[in-house]
Amino acid sequence: MADTLFSLEGKVAVVTGASRGIGQWIAIAIARAGADLCVTARSEVSLAETRAEIEKLGRRCVTGAQDVTDIKSIDETLERFKASFGAIDILVNNAGYEQVSPSLEVDEEIWDAIIGTNLKGAFFWSQAAARQMAKQPEGGSIVNLCSLTSYVGIPTAVPYGSSKSGLLGMTRALSAEWAPLGIRVNAVAPGYFRTAMTEGFYQDEGWASRMLDKIPQKRFGDAADIGGVVVFLAGKASAYVTGQCIPVDGGFLASI
């Protein structure tokens, strides 16, 4: 029973922003669970490592260069993925962008880049995928990458926090609207994970020490911590779960 519940054998998943960091870890975890993958990033070349790791696991992988803020290209990319696999069962909206800036210095360009990538892109990818999932007997599962900033205010991260708070609200609203279509919509909220996007923070030893003091488990997250939660939300084990966001944060939110 356990193997069946947590198996994604025979499924096809799309993971956006899968060239590195959390997106790459999630794509590989989904492949380990048995699914074939369609992965996107802004550059096709940047996806080579992810594709190689997935194919080492004996799974098929199709890559696509795609900017999630380009709505027209979302439909085009999805059609190409469908041509390769015939159906899309799982969508993970991972593509994200952040630019730390004092709020008084945020301009329209920064705001649009962050909101466009993190919220607008996730909505239109979800919409495109849902149109296909609604036609499938088993529907589908969408997992959004929220953030601790979906719950708490972080100075100098107002556009990012706004996008991730909006993503949490979107997750809940879409889950209620699309449940009758057989589509589940959930989210995970990663805590402090050391990735290429966040590396600058971790190089500050004082900052890293202060953050560890706030995390009950006294460590930062790694690849194994995030992948399993997404696999759970993507598959049969969470068949009666929708509209939820699971913090993956070592107890950070529970302790504040």
Which active-site residues does the annotation give? Answer: 160
Q: 241 with 203: CB under 8 angstroms?
A: no
Of 194, 195, 179, which Cα lies nearest the Cα of 242?
179
Integer Cα distance of 142 and 92 in angstroms: 6
User: Which of 56, 55, 9 is CA-nearest to residue 34?
Assistant: 9
The Cα 175–Cα 173 span in angstroms is 5
Instruction: Give the DSSP letter string of 187-251.
Output: EEEE-SB--TTTHHHHT-HHHHHHHHHH-TT-S-B-HHHHHHHHHHHHSGGGTT--S-EEEESTT
